[in-house]
Amino acid sequence: MRIDIVTIFPTFFDALDLSLLGKARSKGIIDVGVHDLRDSAHDRHRTVDGPPAGGGAGMVMRPEPWGESLDGILDGADDPLVIFPSPAGDVFTQEMAKELAQETHLVFGCGRFEGIDQRVFDETASRARVRLVSIGDYVLNGGEVAVTVMIEAIGRLIPGVIGNPESLVEESHEDGLLEYPSYTKPAEWRGRQIPPVLLSGNHGAVEQWRHEQRVERTRRVRPELLEEATPEDGETPQ
């Protein structure tokens, strides 16, 4: 997968060199290009913002640097999907991460200040698929953290990124339930035991216990997820 990121803070994305995503990059599974928006601002101060038309607080990102930077990425690109992180976008979920992991080219545009001039979205949407995506109902100072979150969630679903793909199967939000609690050695720690069923060697009983734990935890922490869960998840929607 090719990923391009436009930002005024390119070093933010140094984090993508770490851990499993860093390995996926060095193996060539994920090819990331980080573009400094200020490289496309040509005045003496490399200005990327201006006061809002019509007045009001804060600054808005000017369209020209965005246009030039996105031209450099989109011209000749093969069916890219452009994502602008925004608290006003569709909410990012595991479902959306799976969908986006099927794409071959994602372009992320990180806004700052009070946002980006609307014409950038409109013009980009005239030549590429565009989505506004929110990572949750709270407001960040800019899109960089949101894009890091999305790339981590999407990247780990790309074949070859996670060594053991089985670890993707029973985690939280896979099939609408939260994950079961995990334990490792020692069998007793500070007076606390590992649940005996996990040491029983009875695979069926372990599976059953883990499933019950997932349903119980989901009911306690996120009951609304159970209403959306399918009957195959072991719970009939109420």
Nearer to ligand ADE, 92 or 180 (CB): 92
Task: Out of 7, 40, 69, 86, point to the residue binding ligand ADE (CB under 6 A).
Answer: 86
> Under the criterion CB under 6 A, does residue 115 sit at the interface with ligand ADE?
no
Range 1-60, binding ligand ADE (CB under 6 A): none
Task: Out of 76, 138, 188, 191, point to the residue binding ligand ADE (CB under 6 A).
Answer: 138
Range 175-234, binding ligand ADE (CB under 6 A): none
Query: Minimum distance from CB of 139 to ligand ADE (Å)?
Result: 5
> Under the criterion CB under 6 A, does residue 114 sit at the interface with ligand ADE?
no
Using DSSP bridges, classify how beta strands 192-193 and 188-189 pair: parallel, antiparallel or unpaired.
antiparallel
Task: Out of 65, 80, 85, 176, point to the residue binding ligand ADE (CB under 6 A).
Answer: 85
> Under the criterion CB under 6 A, does residue 140 sit at the interface with ligand ADE?
yes
Per the listing, tokens 């409109």 go with 122
- The site that binds ligand ADE (CB under 6 A) totals a number of residues, namely 11
Nearer to ligand ADE, 22 or 52 (CB): 52
Measure the CA–CA gap between 195 and 187, rounded to whole angstroms: 9
Query: Minimum distance from CB of 99 to ligand ADE (Å)?
Result: 17
Query: Minimum distance from CB of 130 to ligand ADE (Å)?
Result: 14
Tokens coding 215: 């349903």
Nearer to ligand ADE, 109 or 176 (CB): 109
Query: Minimum distance from CB of 105 to ligand ADE (Å)?
Result: 20
> Under the criterion CB under 6 A, does residue 69 sit at the interface with ligand ADE?
no
Binding footprint of ligand ADE on the chain (CB under 6 A):
85-87, 134-136, 138-140, 143, 146
